């Protein structure tokens, strides 16, 4: 291995194989200022300028310090394992970069960024053979999920990095066609999706589309979910509203029953009452369940009076028959 002193400005720090390169943080900048460079960067000799193989953050930080050079060692083929040395240059650079980052915590977005590089340089097999074993410990389920994610358009990677889309939804997202993913883009950008919520949302959308014999984009266009992001709702209300709109599209009869029941039970229940009405399981029976918790005789008396008022409410017969198809609310 040969030591080299490179001028940071001569190096291509935007090279694709430096897929995790990020601006230096204050700790690194301060350490370089006080202690200087304690660990050499790695470089490959090349025609013209050497290629930086690892140490991009150090190089970036040193660019800000006039006259400072980057200490690097030059990796030569004879220093490497034969398998690594035999790789095409792009893959070798990627593998060395990953090896130099060994031990670093790899986020989902970082794993995908690495995956993109390897797939572009050598196809999905290169990701599986060279990157995945260096990224994930044996048995890590993220390996398969990243593999699925890599089949998605790269435009979704930023949503993974921002936390709007979870890696666990890779399979579900990959099962959508491009048009559906594009139609969903405003919702992907507006909501931070948990895996469970996204699973439900996509299941309802796709099933509603199958039932209607229409593309998911058509259902999405008319279910009202796309109108919600512009309304200034809180993140929780927005997510709940979008899910409710999609559920209505998938389960029109059930959600209509629920809405009817909610509105009639509001009309039947005295304001402020502790007595709660709930429908029979699945609206199978013409019955309601009344529940209440009393902590004193007075509370119980009040609940009893409320229940008596409920029994006399003019809307109660309609509430009891809420599941009758010929009794629209």
The residues binding other proteins (CB under 8 A) are 207, 210-213, 251-254, 257, 281-286, 323-325
CB of 148 to other proteins, least distance (A): 18
> C-beta of 198: minimal distance to other proteins in Å?
19
Q: How many Å apart are CA 97 and CA 53, to the nearest integer?
A: 6
Residues ≥6 apart with Cβ < 8 Å to 156: 149, 165, 173, 181, 188
**Residue (1 or 259) nearer to other proteins, CB:** 259
Measured from the CB atom, the residue of 67 and 282 that comes closer to other proteins is 282
Whole-angstrom distance, CA of residue 168 vs CA of residue 252:
28
User: Least distance from C-beta 138 to other proteins, angstroms?
Assistant: 27
Give whichever of 285 and 301 is closer to other proteins, judged by the CB atom: 285
> Smallest distance from the beta carbon of 246 to other proteins, in angstroms?
14
> Where do runs of H (alpha helix) occur along 136-177?
142-149, 157-161, 170-174
Nearer to other proteins, 189 or 321 (CB): 321
- Of 58 and 248, the one with the shorter C-beta distance to other proteins is 248
How many alpha carbons lie under 13 Å from residue 182 in its C-beta half-sphere? Answer: 5
Nearest to 97 by CA among 42, 23, 162: 42
């Amino acid at each position: 291995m040969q030591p080299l002193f490179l001028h940071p400005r001569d190096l291509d720090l935007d090279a694709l194989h430096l897929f995790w390169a990020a601006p230096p943080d204050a700790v690194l900048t301060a350490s370089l200022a006080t202690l200087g460079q304690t660990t050499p960067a790695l470089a490959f000799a090349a025609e013209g300028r050497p290629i930086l193989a690892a140490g991009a953050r150090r190089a970036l930080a040193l660019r800000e310090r006039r006259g400072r050079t980057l200490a690097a060692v030059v990796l030569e083929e004879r220093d490497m394992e034969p398998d690594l040395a035999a790789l095409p240059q792009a893959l070798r650079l990627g593998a060395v970069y990953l090896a130099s980052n060994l031990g670093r915590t790899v986020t989902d977005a970082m794993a995908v960024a690495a995956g993109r590089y390897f797939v572009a340089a050598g196809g999905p097999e290169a990701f599986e053979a060279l990157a995945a074993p260096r990224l994930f410990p044996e048995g890590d389920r993220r390996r398969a999920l990243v593999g699925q994610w890599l089949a998605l358009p790269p435009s979704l990677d930023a949503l993974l990095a921002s936390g709007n889309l979870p890696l666990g939804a890779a399979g579900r997202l990959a099962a959508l066609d491009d048009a559906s993913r594009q139609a969903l883009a405003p919702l992907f950008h507006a909501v931070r999706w948990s895996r469970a919520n996204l699973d439900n949302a996509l299941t309802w959308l796709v099933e509603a589309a199958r039932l209607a014999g229409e593309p998911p984009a058509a259902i999405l266009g008319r279910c009202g979910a796309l109108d919600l992001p512009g309304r200034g709702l809180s993140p929780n209300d927005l997510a709940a509203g979008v899910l409710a709109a999609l559920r209505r599209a998938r389960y029109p009869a059930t959600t209509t029953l629920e809405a009817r029941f909610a509105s009639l039970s509001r009309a039947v229940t005295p304001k402020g009452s502790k007595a709660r009405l709930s429908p029979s399981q699945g609206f199978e029976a013409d019955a309601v369940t009344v529940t209440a918790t009393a902590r004193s005789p007075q509370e119980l008396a009040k609940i009893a009076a409320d229940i008596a008022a409920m029994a006399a409410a003019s809307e109660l017969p309609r509430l009891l028959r809420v599941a009758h198809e010929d009794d629209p609310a």
